[in-house]
Structure 1
């Protein structure tokens, strides 16, 4: 058979001294994909990974920027959320394609293509990003527990450590169980904000016009800063590693046709899921614009403030309750995907296989210890600042995930016939440059603030 240029996993094994195991080996190709039947039936087998990815685009770290954007500038930054989402759709499709074609996740691809010192450096940066992401989820969940049940932030942070038991239980029941739980939580968040949208009664014309980019974005420095914050907090670096791995849970045919179909269905899955994430992120900003901005409250910036102000402004406690439930669902669902991402990068970069309970415990402690210290010293207001700081760390790591992804999927030696066509290469590198520049700018502005 003529060599297509695709480097298969078994070919890699011969080049590396240690035998390379599959990403998430206990789950790899564990879910059957029908080889016959309708297109819809085949697509159903691929539904799931996209929702694990989408939850990272609506985690508590994104809420603050959407609330600030809506309260200060009304509906006008909806265009930024839309553009950010389109960037995410492109990058996540490249991530799933890398995993399907090569049989390696992004972390494994980095280990195979780069020297060991470079791989170790990328691994450390990625671990910091995952710890920062987990920190945002811990704080977000703790804030939700305080708002809904009056539990102090410090105790809420400690309570979130218990979810390690939930993760271990779910992993034993199979990957589909995790996917179903995530989809239920995403649906919960969507339902909560649908109710809040109905209660807020936004200006429909203003909403639609908000999705159209305008030139005044570059004329207002504060507006530009918030727009960059929204863009910077959208694409999560750990999601690129995660997607390239969990797509391999599907047992698609290891042929050109099988991989082509898998790429198509995986792209459909992630695109639909990210469209739901677009709706939820837009809904957060729209509710903020329709309540706070409309009432002249342009300084609302913290999640807890938004929760407390919704009830008097909308005349019902249901609005605040739905907001709090959505926040709790967001924090808890994000923590599941963070756990898997941590396992993937450790195995992929370093081939270190830790028991799932130990990996989860280490990740959780890294997030909980700073949250406990800051809460104990600076009080509950300090946790909001820590939430923002976690997003800065994520921004720092982002280029080190996006650049290798675009580089690998544009390399014919790695991707063979599935290499990115020229228009995708140009678009992907353009998006990469934009993301890098905006994140650098965001970091500089945050440090100066």
Structure 2
């Protein structure tokens, strides 16, 4: 679960946040992580109390059409996340080989390493979790090394983290703040976490044991997200201290003095430096030596490799839950990896690393759009007394969760609108308007069901329960067990 907060998409959002806004947006990162923690708590509670993960609950509670539509949206998010992991690994291999491994070569290598994880999976979930722990440690050490090397102002880090302030932020910085929320809270991670808790044995007939399990899963989530938050802070602080406010010309001069082979990345002008995962590694090498570049690449590689398997697991649980299909993990990986690698490979062959980074930005927008299809169902089902019994959300979580979901969805819709308007194509505006009507209609339908579950509709309680039974296909738990 921690890995999904450290994938290449998150890392790119972190470094751009530091380079564009300095330390000003660290409080946004902290807030997004706390919101993510509360959502993960709901996901874990659903799995612990019901013995089913979110996709399985969607299968039994929603009718066929919304269920299939939900499945398609979540699959789209998983494929988009998988593409980001492939892009991150390809860029890492290019940096580590000093350009000798082409981008398409790095993409192809990621096909092989996926099957290595499948072999490792045969030795049991605990060993796989231990391997993930090693990869997270690699990220902590590599990005921690960059943090120590750059030595950012600790007072500025703490001030940016705990004192919300963006009064002088421009449109680019505000857009970056929105992007942080979209990158941190991943839709497929909600589905994944609700399934992973089932790997622990809990006696669901014992209410005390269920309550205890919920408590310890929440503590575990706090620890996991604290570690991922610290690593994200390392990345933001490094680029805030070293590259905030720098121009392309400054970077060009420094890279020229160090004999860098990547001078073409920095045009000779006084425009503010814009960085991505690839350029970030290059500028670190120019300013802090080759070791900083290679250590950065190792951290990116660890992030891409580890998040590969989370996408695989998410896809497995989502397909089995929504469609009740039992594919082998090999067949599942072959399908999703092919869908993710094919467009990425074409871009890597016929374009350059800049277009690959542009694809990464587009994928962040795509996953922002999919967010309501995880947040609304998890809030809906954890609020149903017929499903959660005594562990249904109380008033605080109903109101707070509803406002959180509304806020996150509005933020991400704003992010998407700004992204589309920057493209400047009339045909894209028309297409976006048509798709938006369908999208908002489906989100509105799910929201209506959520309001019924929350007990906030205008119907009287008895009528409300009757409508919920008709729409959400409420069935007693015993029918599944």
The two structures share one fold, judged by TM-score above 0.5: yes
Out of 58, 61, 74, the position equivalent to 1:113 is: 61
Is 2:75 the counterpart of 1:127? yes
Alignment map for 1:136-151 (pairs within 5 Å):
136-149=84-97, 150=99, 151=101
Is 2:310 the counterpart of 1:337? yes
Query: Quick one: distance in 1 between partners of 2:236 and 2:57?
Result: 37
Out of 281, 285, 294, the position equivalent to 2:232 is: 281
Query: Quick one: distance in 2 between partners of 1:320 and 1:61?
Result: 19
Query: Quick one: distance in 2 between partners of 1:167 and 1:116?
Result: 34
Larger deviation: 134-143 or 245-254? 245-254
Query: Quick one: distance in 2 between partners of 1:74 and 1:100?
Result: 41
Paired residues of 2:43 and 2:193 also in contact (CA < 8 A): yes
Query: Quick one: distance in 1 between partners of 2:399 and 2:247?
Result: 43
Residue 37 of structure 1 aligns with which residue?
A: none
Which stretches in structure 2 are left out of the alignment for 5+ residues?
249-271, 423-481
Against the structure 1 CA distance between its residues 434 and 369, is the aligned structure 2 distance closer, same or farther, given a 3 Å change threshold? same
Residue 25 of structure 2 aligns with which residue?
A: 77
Which stretches in structure 1 are left out of the alignment for 5+ residues?
1-52
Q: For residues 151-173 of structure 1, what are the alpha-carbon distances to aligned partners after superposition, in whole Å with 9 as ceiling and x for unaligned?
A: 11111001100123212212211
Paired residues of 1:80 and 1:227 also in contact (CA < 8 A): yes
Residue 9 of structure 1 aligns with which residue?
A: none
Paired residues of 2:5 and 2:228 also in contact (CA < 8 A): yes
C-alpha deviation, 1:318, in angstroms:
2.0
Against the structure 1 CA distance between its residues 346 and 205, is the aligned structure 2 distance closer, same or farther, given a 3 Å change threshold? same
Residue 186 of structure 2 aligns with which residue?
A: 236
Q: Which is greater in Rg?
A: 2
Is 2:329 the counterpart of 1:356? yes
Residue 250 of structure 1 aligns with which residue?
A: 200
Alignment map for 1:158-197 (pairs within 5 Å):
158-197=108-147
Query: Quick one: distance in 2 between partners of 1:300 and 1:402?
Result: 32
Residue 277 of structure 2 aligns with which residue?
A: 303
SS in 2 for 1:251: coil
Residue 209 of structure 1 aligns with which residue?
A: 159
Against the structure 1 CA distance between its residues 373 and 296, is the aligned structure 2 distance closer, same or farther, given a 3 Å change threshold? closer
Residue 341 of structure 2 aligns with which residue?
A: 368
Query: Quick one: distance in 2 between partners of 1:340 and 1:90?
Result: 22
> Higher relative contact order by CA 8 Å / sep ≥ 6: 1 or 2?
1
Note the aligned Cα RMSD (angstroms).
Answer: 1.3
Q: For residues 222-255 of structure 1, what are the alpha-carbon distances to aligned partners after superposition, in whole Å with 9 as ceiling and x for unaligned?
A: 2111000011111011100000001100012222
TM-score of the aligned structures, taking structure 2 as reference length: 0.80
C-alpha deviation, 1:215, in angstroms:
4.6
Paired residues of 2:24 and 2:165 also in contact (CA < 8 A): no
TM-score of the aligned structures, taking structure 1 as reference length: 0.86
C-alpha deviation, 1:63, in angstroms:
1.7
Out of 292, 295, 300, the position equivalent to 1:319 is: 292
Out of 408, 426, 432, the position equivalent to 1:435 is: 408
Query: Quick one: distance in 1 between partners of 2:329 and 2:227?
Result: 30
* Equivalences, count: 396
SS in 2 for 1:226: helix
Q: For residues 308-357 of structure 1, what are the alpha-carbon distances to aligned partners after superposition, in whole Å with 9 as ceiling and x for unaligned?
A: 1112222x322222211110000000001100000000000000111111
Q: For residues 111-159 of structure 1, what are the alpha-carbon distances to aligned partners after superposition, in whole Å with 9 as ceiling and x for unaligned?
A: 1111011111000111111000000000000100000123111110011
Paired residues of 1:96 and 1:243 also in contact (CA < 8 A): yes
Against the structure 1 CA distance between its residues 77 and 215, is the aligned structure 2 distance closer, same or farther, given a 3 Å change threshold? closer
Query: Quick one: distance in 1 between partners of 2:166 and 2:296?
Result: 31
Paired residues of 2:20 and 2:245 also in contact (CA < 8 A): no
Residue 15 of structure 1 aligns with which residue?
A: none
Query: Quick one: distance in 2 between partners of 1:296 and 1:313?
Result: 14
Against the structure 1 CA distance between its residues 120 and 239, is the aligned structure 2 distance closer, same or farther, given a 3 Å change threshold? same
Paired residues of 1:67 and 1:300 also in contact (CA < 8 A): no
